[in-house]
Amino acid sequence: MNWFQRFVLWDYPRASVQYDIMVGLILVFVLLTPREWFKDQPKPSSVAMLPTARGNNAFWIDAEVLNSTPDGQRTNRAAELLRARLGHKANVVRLEPIVDSEQEIKGYIAFTTP
C-alpha cells in the first residue's frame, strides 16, 4: 500500500526512475487519448462563407439550423440567417442540401447573388 500512496501523492524525487515512469504515463495519456472520450470537439459556426470561382457567393448553413423549418420556407429562413450574419439583404437564389453516404442531410449550401 505504501507504493500506491507514494504514486498518488507524487512522492518521488525528480530524475528518479519512478518519476520518469509517471511522467511518461502522463504523456502517453495526453497524446494518445482520443478526443471523443471527452466530447470536447470544436463546434464550427452554423453559417460560414465558402470561396467560389465566380462572382456569386456561397454559404454553408448547418443542418441543425434549417431542419426544423418546412421545406417550402427553408430558402426564406436561409436568407434571414444570412441577413443576420452579413448585416445586409442576401438574395438566396438556390439552396442545395448536402448529404452523406447514408443520405442524411449534413448541411445546406445557399447560393446568393451579390
Taking only the tens place, the pLDDT of each residue in 18-29 is 889 989 999 999
Same structural domain, 33 and 58: no
Contact 78, 40 (CB under 8 A): no
Same structural domain, 55 and 107: yes
Domain count, the chain: 2
Residue 24 cell numbers, joined: 511518461
Contact 7, 22 (CB under 8 A): yes
Same structural domain, 33 and 56: no
The pTM of the whole model exceeds 0.75: no
Same structural domain, 63 and 109: yes
pLDDT tens-digit readout, 43-79: 666 787 787 777 678 888 888 888 888 888 899 888 8
**Segments forming the whole domain that contains residue 24:** 2-38
pLDDT at 106 over 70: yes
